[in-house]
Amino acid sequence: EAQVTQNPRYLITVTGKKLTVTCSQNMNHEYMSWYRQDPGLGLRQIYYSMNVEVTDKGDVPEGYKVSRKEKRNFPLILESPSPNQTSLYFCASSLSDKYNEQFFGPGTRLTVL
């Protein structure tokens, strides 16, 4: 089944404790992206990647890191999480670029205390 998977689905952590949210897709998509969803703000793009070793900032990249060492994986790293990063995070992938339909993962709900 074609899908985007994220782990963990739920995470409660404390300020400053490094964490990684994994994202994997099995559709051989080149384009992958991370979004955060906050009430009243919709989805905001954090980072995106056009292919292996090619990443760029979205609209809200501060406090996040990403890497794309393999085509299928696009982990989101919070080196020192803060409470304002409490949010619902979505990973998405698409065939080649921003003009294609994006396929979304189920989301990761992160709470930073």
Partner 1 sequence: AQSVTQPDIHITVSEGASLELRCNYSYGATPYLFWYVQSPGQGLQLLLKYFSGDTLVQGIKGFEAEFKRSQSSFNLRKPSVHWSDAAEYFCAVPNSGGYQKVTFGTGTKLQVIP
Q: Which residues bind partner 1 (CB under 8 A)?
A: 4, 31, 33, 35, 40-45, 48, 50, 56, 58-59, 90, 92, 97-99, 101-102, 104-107
For residues 40 and 69, which CB has a smaller minimum distance to partner 1 in the complex? 40
For residue 83, the minimal CB distance to partner 1 (Å) is 22
Cα angle vertex 90, ends 33, 22, to 5°? 80
For residues 12 and 82, which CB has a smaller minimum distance to partner 1 in the complex? 12
CA distance 28 to 10: 26
For residue 48, the minimal CB distance to partner 1 (Å) is 5
Per the structure block, which two tokens stand in for 68? Answer: 């794309």
For residue 73, the minimal CB distance to partner 1 (Å) is 17
CA distance 113 to 55: 29
For residue 98, give the amino acid letter.
Answer: K
SS3 82: coil
